[in-house]
Chains A and B, each alone.
Chain A
């Protein structure tokens, strides 16, 4: 709408801001700024469990709203599209959908087994100097880079 933000914030601006947000949630509530926990609580709400942590659900909603504000209000406004341009260049839609869904299921399952995801372990856990989080982070970075390399080989360098 307003086109007030650059196309992409530089890492040396965005990264430190995120660092301060991580500290901020610890200062206010002594909690890590992890995202997969918010999914767990939201799924608990959908399944009408009685022991959900309500503020994590508000946090889940906030992630969506924050994205909306930046992409639609402070920027010119992104249009409805499929996304995944680089993957769509290589695979048709009928192959992209199961690939994305399968990958997402796998990462959700993995996050539950590991007890956290890129935010919970990768950033907040590492910032707490947790050896377990560092082990998770090194492991998922390694398998993600390896998987990307295998995909690249399998598609003849196209993806």
Chain B
């Protein structure tokens, strides 16, 4: 229950930052991938520059989290599916000019073509899910299902 509220709040904060940075606009992503404008690269790099050292320190201190046990980072080695999936993801990202989180913000900002992108993302994820029955690709992306609570 409390974890649901935390999930909602983190979603609101993340969606809010994406919207405030205009990452939900096709024009922003397009200008980035055309290499006309480097703001989004710097945005991502600075997010990593802030979080990576903090995560390193917190893990080393063996921090205990209220909902997920001891804080532990995952560092798996690249496999073939990472390269294959990444390659397809990049092509789709360039065509659709959006990715999963910004697509939701796109719709809340009134851009109706976001309603075309979101079902597409669902379909793509679903097609893959039907091919493989297990969670064999649990990794450092959000698909690692170290589930803390079902309710």
Contact = CB atoms under 8 A, between A and B. Distances in A.
Interface of A: 5, 7-9, 11-12, 14-40, 42-43, 51-72, 78-87, 96-97, 99-149, 151-152, 159
Contacts of A26: 55, 58, 65, 71, 73
A144 B93 contact: yes
A142 B40 CA distance: 15
Given A39-B100, A66-B12, A110-B88, A30 B76 contact: no
Contacts of A101: 116-117, 119-120
A37 B150 CA distance: 14
7 contacts: A18-B47, A103-B93, A103-B97, A110-B85, A111-B141, A130-B76, A132-B75
Interface majority SS on B: helix, strand, loop or mixed? helix
Nearest to B67: A29
Interface residues of B, number: 123
A105 B9 contact: no
Given A85-B27, A111-B89, A125 B95 contact: no
A4 to B, nearest CB: 11
A56 B7 CA distance: 6
Contact of A19 (B48, B74, B126): B48
